[in-house]
Amino acid sequence: MSESLEAWFAREILTHEDALVRYLRRMWPDRDDVHDLRQETYVRVYEAAGKGRPHSPKAFLFTTARHLLADRIRRERVVSIEARGDIEALDVLIDEISPEERASAHEDLRTVARAFERLPPRCREVFWLRRVEELSQREVAARLGIREGMVEKHVAKAMRRFADALFGGRRMRSRRKTQARADGEHEHVEQQTD
């Protein structure tokens, strides 16, 4: 049984190591912890598979990694009573996200998602592989059968579209406000000279 579990683990789990590492790097702020997180994920998957093999090994691997990260976050949020007293002595204000900031962030995310959906298919595919899956420029080019320079051009095009989607409307509103203020000041000066 132990040998077949090891063979299953190598075939079904270890083949996703690169994707798992990219996921952990993207989700965890301290890159120095990624090796330990990967190993702990493997331990949890291996132990669980010893009791019963999951039907979808890849999904199980990433779900296990996500739960591990959630456990780590919860553990880091627990503060001892002694440490709490020290924190309060610092009298530091903690930044909280306001409802307005949260709503604005959600709207920005919806705007970027709409812009992403409007990208040409090849551009969208290149951007996804390069920025979301974090493949190297060379890996994306090889996977899609295009030149590395084209990968760079597609990513730049996507970034311009995102910037236009996010900031284009804001720039126009800002210009209109500036123009309205200038018009108002101009009228004020004209009234004073009459």
Q: How far is the C-alpha of 126 from the C-alpha of 100, rounded, in Å?
A: 33
H helices present in the chain, as ranges: 2-12, 17-27, 34-51, 57-77, 81-90, 99-118, 121-127, 137-144, 148-163, 169-193
User: pLDDT at position 185, please?
Assistant: 55
Tens-of-pLDDT digits for all 194 residues of the chain? Answer: 445 888 898 999 999 999 999 999 988 888 888 999 999 999 999 999 988 898 899 999 999 999 998 888 877 765 444 444 444 444 444 445 667 777 877 787 888 888 889 999 999 999 889 888 888 999 999 999 999 999 999 989 988 888 888 787 555 555 555 666 666 655 544 455 44
Q: In angstroms, what CA-CA distances link 64 with 16, 102, 183?
A: 13, 28, 60
What pLDDT, on a 0 to 100 scale, did the predictor assign at position 144?
Answer: 94
Query: 135 and 151 in contact (C-beta within 8 Å)?
Result: no
Q: What is the reported pLDDT for 145? A: 95
What is the rounded CA–CA span in Å between residue 185 and residue 194?
A: 15
User: What span, in angstroms and rounded, lies between the C-alpha atoms of 46 and 38?
Assistant: 12
Residue 61: predicted pLDDT: 93
Q: At 158, list the tokens.
A: 């996507």
Q: What is the pLDDT of residue 81?
A: 43
* Confidence (pLDDT) at 74: 78
pLDDT, residue 168, reads 77
Longest dimension (CA), the chain: 98
Q: How far is CA 46 from the centre of its chain?
A: 28
- The topology (CATH level 3) of 2-78 is Rna Polymerase Sigma Factor; Chain: A (1.10.1740)
pTM score over 0.85: no
140 contact partners, CB below 8 Å, separation of at least 6: 126, 129, 130, 151
What pLDDT, on the 0 to 100 scale, is given for residue 19? 92
The length of the chain is 194
Pick the CATH number of 99-193 from 3.30.565.10, 1.10.150.240, 1.10.420.10, 1.10.10.10: 1.10.10.10
With beta carbons less than 8 A apart as the criterion, state whether 62 and 20 touch.
yes
Is residue 154 within 8 Å of 144, Cβ to Cβ?
Answer: no
Domain map (residue ranges) of the chain: 2-78, 99-193
